[in-house]
């Protein structure tokens, strides 16, 4: 359970770097008290990620462990590319006459729907449920609670960092460097996970996938660089327009 908690915490901290919800934390920190923003993020994350771990737990009833590992590993690769691409606020920081707490909480809950941290929570919950197994409410608690608490803790750490950046350190921390470090960590975790999952799914005498994984070590960084370049080019075009 401790390992699941720590993995979920670290994974979400990495996923949140440069993510839409962290950008929201930065924006709201300039308008509301930081305590209000943190409590609202905490409430929204508890509800949103409880939904996510419940979905992830149910998935294990239909898919074997090796396929879940493969999907989780592939999702890490997607998270790496997604992190490089980055997010924009798209007007989600706008309030609608609500109290500061509910303005932040509702915005965060909506922003998390379909976001990579929510999808990662589903993947981690599915993997933990398949790993532990068992039936009954005690087994469900062991499967769900560590991931739920870990992803929530990770969100609080990352968004607290975002609040500090938004209030004080924004001009001194290179955001691109943070994104690239997080993306490279995701890519590494993803490739290792793919290697482990494919070894379980394929026969022992099949090793062709090893060549593809080795090639991916070079192809994936190139794809990340291309996405970064295209994103920057699209941003420059938008600014000129």
Per residue of the chain (241 residues), what is the pLDDT tens digit?
Answer: 677 888 888 888 887 877 777 777 877 777 788 888 899 999 999 998 888 888 877 776 676 767 767 877 787 788 788 778 766 555 544 444 568 898 888 888 877 876 778 878 888 888 777 776 666 667 777 778 888 899 999 999 988 888 887 666 555 667 677 678 778 877 887 888 888 888 888 877 777 778 888 899 899 999 999 998 888 887 766 556 5
pLDDT of residue 218: 92
Structural domain for 101, as ranges: 2-240
pLDDT of residue 181: 78
**What beta strand segments (E) does the chain contain?**
none
* 147, 222, 234 from 212: Cα distances, Å: 31, 15, 31
Coil, strand, or helix at residue 33? coil
Tokens 């929201």 map to which residue? 24
Residue 42: per-residue pLDDT: 93
If one counts the domains in the chain, the total is 1
Burial code of 23-40, b = ≥16 C-beta within 10 A, e = fewer? bbbbbbbeebebebbbeb
201 vs 189: CA distance, rounded Å: 18
Q: 142 near 5, Cβ under 8 Å?
A: no
pLDDT number for residue 219: 92
Alpha-carbon distance 84 to 169, whole Å?
Answer: 21
How many other C-beta atoms can be found within 10 angstroms of the C-beta atom of residue 76? 23
pLDDT confidence of residue 95: 47
Q: What is the pLDDT of residue 43?
A: 93
Token duo for residue 84:
């490089």
């Amino acid at each position: 359970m401790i390992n699941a908690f720590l993995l979920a915490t670290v994974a979400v901290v990495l996923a949140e770097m440069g993510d839409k919800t962290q950008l929201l934390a930065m924006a709201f920190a300039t308008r509301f008290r930081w305590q209000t923003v943190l409590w609202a993020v905490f409430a929204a994350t508890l509800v949103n990620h409880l939904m996510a771990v419940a979905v992830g737990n149910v998935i294990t009833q239909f898919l074997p462990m090796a396929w879940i590992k493969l999907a989780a590993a592939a999702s890490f690769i997607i998270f790496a590319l997604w992190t490089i691409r980055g997010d924009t606020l798209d007007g989600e920081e706008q309030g609608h006459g609500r109290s500061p707490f509910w303005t932040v909480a509702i915005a965060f809950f909506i922003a998390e729907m379909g976001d990579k941290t929510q999808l990662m929570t589903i993947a981690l919950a599915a993997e933990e449920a398949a790993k532990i197994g068992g039936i009954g409410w005690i087994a469900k608690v062991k499967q769900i609670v560590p991931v739920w608490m870990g992803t929530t803790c990770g969100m609080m750490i990352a968004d607290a960092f975002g609040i500090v950046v938004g209030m004080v350190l924004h001009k001194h921390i290179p955001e691109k460097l943070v994104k690239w470090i997080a993306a490279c960590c995701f890519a590494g975790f993803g490739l290792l996970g793919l290697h482990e999952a494919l070894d379980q799914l394929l026969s022992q005498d099949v090793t062709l996938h090893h060549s593809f994984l080795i090639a991916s070590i070079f192809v994936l960084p190139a794809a990340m660089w291309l996405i970064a370049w295209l994103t920057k080019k699209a941003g420059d075009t938008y600014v000129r327009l």
